[in-house]
Chains A and B, each alone.
Chain A
Amino acid sequence: MTENSASLSDDRIRYLEELVRQGQIAAAVFTQFSQRDVDRIVKAMVLAGLDQAQYLARLAIEETGIGVLEDKALKNMVATEFVYNYVRDKPSVGVIHEFPERGIVEVAEPIGLIFSLLPITNPTATVLFKCIMAIKTRNAVIFGPHPKAWHACQEAIRIMYETAVKHGAPEAVFACLESPTIPDNNYLMRHKEVKLIDATGGPGAVKAAYSSGKPALGVGPGNTPVYLEKTAHLDMAVVDIITSKTFDNGTICASEQTVVIDDEIYDLALRKFAELGAHICSAKETEMLSRAVIDPDTGFLRPMAIGQKATDIARACGLRVKPDTKLLVAPIQGVGREHPLSVEKLCPVLAVYRAKSVDEALRVCVDVNHAGGLGHTAVVFSRQDEIIRRFSEAINAGRIIANSPGSIGALGGVYNDMVPTFSFGCGTGGGNSTMDNVNLYHYLNIKRVARRTPAHMWFRIPNQIYFNFNAVENLRDFPSRSTLIVTNPLLEQMGHVDKVRQSIPPEVRVRVLAIPDAEPEAQVVMLGVEALGLHDADQIVALGGGSVIDAAKIMKLKFLSPEADLDELAAPFLDIRKRAVKFPAPERQVRLIAISTTSGTGSEVTPFAVLLDKQRGRKVTLADYSLSPDVAIVDPQFVMSMPRNLTADTGIDCLTHALEAGVSIHASAYTDSNAMQAIRLAFQYLPIAYENPHDEEARSMMHNAACIAALAFSNASVGVNHALAHAFGARFHVGHGRANALMLPHVVAYNAAVPTKFMPSPNQRGYSAHKKYALMADLLGLSGATTWEKVQSLVTAIEQLLDRLEIPRSIREMGISQEEFERAMPDLAKVAFDDPSWRSNPRMPLVSELVELFWAAWRGRGPATRAEGTEQAAKECVRI
């Protein structure tokens, strides 16, 4: 015997177990039914319920002595006809919703066996409602009626059950507990085969349900505040309140409890209540009423008053009222225990309060709401949307009924389009798991089939790109009143600025701002912003390498959006479309034309800009397509005099961009075409440009290659090579291109091997880095019969290119000792792992792998990462 069954006899336990087993079988068999099957049964049940609505209402009245026959019959009809109107066309079997644009399909799964408690106040209507919900969703139910409404419930269940089985429902799909007791309820609530408790009942039953450890739907107590605001349609409001509060003698827990009336209309409102059959209590009568209907010990309504007529209650209190009195209206001066009638009164007794202001009215409504009605229902009558909005924000209620009766409004489907129900979820305020009008979806487990939906891709580049010798002359096609040329002093000295000026139409006012040739700092950016303002510039021409162009991008950003917080805009992100911080969208425009004087960074087309924060000793990277220049000019005349080492380093930077974009998880056919072309151009022309700096064709092609590679990585991003290079370059003050070169062969081999950890990449179908490298090898005409051999050939070709460019092939060769490198390693690994670049790498690097790659670069040529046990695995991978 368990604690659960301690107070039950063996016979009773056998009885309950048999009910559960039969219900369990019914629920299991029910899972085979089709939508058509359940819809046919539901329709028959609805018709049977409608046919017996009055009969069942009479049974309920006779047994409980609560409510009004006509209203109970109406409730039975709402519970069938209105509920059916809501559920009839709603799928509840198999696929119930499809969202093709999201790739989501929702599929219904029945819950199984439900244990359902039934209330004394709405016994038969609740049965009809719950039976229809259960059949519609293919669930079996054991009902536990309130003992004082058992016969009425049992008869309603019988009618529903016989109709359902006659039309094909499984045997034992409904059962009604005979002689139900609290121990029965507790036993069933804790039974492992009962999958859900639906507790429509008093606070005790709801608490027991939630305490059982089972998923439960519960309703909370109500205490509906009503704000009758001075602009309301008063005649309508008074009739609605009387209709609602007298409906079934006030037994619906959503019915009005305290009406807070604006001072300006208070007296008039009470006169109208009186004219329509309400008795307005004097202060003395209010006290008599309070004493009679409210239990002073509990502070709640005495059970004898529930659902009784106003005249009967008046008689019991010793009040003299007219024989046709519908409602007792009792003025109160506050809310709380000292004002007993401010609680829920499930009878035709209504408290009213005179409010001197909107604020006071809202405060009193909130007090009523918190005096036992949290999460339930509230009502507001007003013609001002603003009042309704303020009320809805102040009040915690699942149903805020505007300009209509509370009880019938909350039931849904009559005065509004809310879901018809006989079970009001009250949210956490009422201790419930839902705040909804309980409906068929609460009787279902909803499964979601989520199809793979590749993220939307893009290929965003500047509007116009001009290339080849003298492309700078295109400047004359861009109208401008005032142009600021941002450059550096060296380029001024070399006469490059003059060439630019000559291409700008003579009527344009031109100013030159020469900034240091280094990563820009905030004060440099602000100098540019000042100059732009001073000269009222509508065009910026950035002439220089990456630093100058980056500075110009940030100048434009700060000039057009002075409020832009660069620190905030530099916040890290995983997906540029979902980033937490949005770049400003300024209304006015300033054209940015970028003319690159190096062949590597591709800053003339990229959406990136780096700012040096010297105070905090760090770089701030900004990334947003709004930073991309509007026009790029790729004119090789500006790179003819680039020094050889700069040619090599920037050229390798370009190659790294292309190789990383080519295998990025964001790579697409659009970026691939650019990446592949840049790789081909770099391999062909970089050595020539390095060895013969005056070769115009080689210079031109490398200049194009840098721009084309940038088009690829602007959209596909880079990878782990950049993360390593950023960390190493910053720590040992090594230029970006050279740092990239030291890592490159090792990273290619690393990416070609079987990943320890795959990178989540919805746009990729399988791991393909090795295949992409093999494709690059094919493009370059490299040897190899298998994918792996081709990858090896590509690595060898990169090593040979680096040799030809006379780039040191190991960190060791650069004079960094093993001890020094070892000391730096924890920081290097941390900084590299924090770098956002690797987040588009085809394989996710472990920190230990970053360390290994750093050491491979330190050792230099040789086995690199193909060793360390990954070579064989890589061969196996690439042979697939």
Chain B
Amino acid sequence: MTSHAEWIAIDPERAADSLQEAVEKVNSAEGEVTLDFSAVRRIDAPAARAVEQLAVAESRPVKLVLHAVNGDIYKVLKLLQLTARFTFGS
């Protein structure tokens, strides 16, 4: 189990898989985990569902930071009522 800050870059070519892997890491993490969206232009439905999975684990002792989320993706998360579960970094 890690307790330090972790930085996970989301692969734009396989965002859903990348996020799914992040879900697993987050499940075993403490402290702060940052998911770096800087290379991601858009997310598809599986990726959106993966973010939803990250969001539902409210009781985890981990702070989730979504880094460099663009306006389009932020709107998707907003429409799905997921933004309140994350901290957004630029």
Contact = CB atoms under 8 A, between A and B. Distances in A.
Contact of B80 (A25, A32, A170, A171): A25
A32 B42 contact: yes
A482 B44 CA distance: 86
B84 interface: no
A31 B43 CA distance: 10
Contacts of A26: 45
B1 interface: no
Nearest to B49: A25
Interface string A1-33: 000000000000000000000101111110110
Contacts of A28: 48, 75-77, 79-80
A547 to B, nearest CB: 66
Contacts of A170: 44-45
**Of residues B44, B52, B72, B75, which shows the largest number of chain A Cβ atoms within 10 Å of its Cβ?**
B44
A63 B44 CA distance: 36
B72 to A, nearest CB: 5
B75 A29 contact: no
A24 B80 contact: yes
B46 interface: yes
B52 to A, nearest CB: 8
A32 B45 contact: no
A845 interface: no
B65 interface: no
Given A25-B45, A170-B44, A171-B45, A32 B79 contact: no
B55 interface: no
A170 to B, nearest CB: 5
Contacts of B8: none
Mostly helix, strand, loop or mixed at chain B's interface? helix
Interface residues on A, range: 10 to 19
B9 interface: no
A172 interface: yes
- A26, A32, A170: residue with the most chain B Cβ atoms closer than 10 Å: A32
A875 B11 CA distance: 58
B44 to A, nearest CB: 6
A112 B46 CA distance: 18
Interface centre among B46, B48, B79 (most CB of A within 10 A): B79
A31 B76 CA distance: 7
Contacts of A25: 45, 48-49, 52, 80
A814 to B, nearest CB: 66
A29 B44 CA distance: 6
Contact of B79 (A22, A31, A171, A172): A31
A27 B48 CA distance: 11
B76 to A, nearest CB: 5
Contact of A112 (B43, B44, B72, B79): B79
Nearest to A168: B44
Contacts of B73: 32
B46 A31 contact: no
Contacts of B79: 24, 27-28, 31, 112
Interface string A25-68: 11111011000000000000000000000000000000000000
A31 B74 CA distance: 11
Interface string B18-52: 00000000000000000000000011111011001
A27 B75 CA distance: 11
Contacts of B46: 171
A25 B77 CA distance: 9
B48 A32 contact: no
A27 B45 CA distance: 9
Contacts of B42: 29, 32
B18 to A, nearest CB: 16
Interface string A165-184: 00000111000000000000
Contacts of A171: 44-46
A32 B49 contact: no
5 contacts: A28-B48, A29-B44, A32-B73, A32-B75, A171-B46
Interface of A: 22, 24-29, 31-32, 112, 170-172
Given A29-B48, A32-B75, A171-B45, 16 more contacts: A24-B79, A24-B80, A25-B49, A25-B52, A27-B79, A28-B79, A29-B42, A29-B44, A29-B45, A31-B72, A32-B43, A32-B72, A32-B73, A32-B76, A170-B45, A172-B45
- 8 smallest CB-CB distances across A and B, nearest first, come from A28-B79, A32-B42, A171-B45, A28-B76, A32-B72, A170-B45, A25-B48, A28-B80
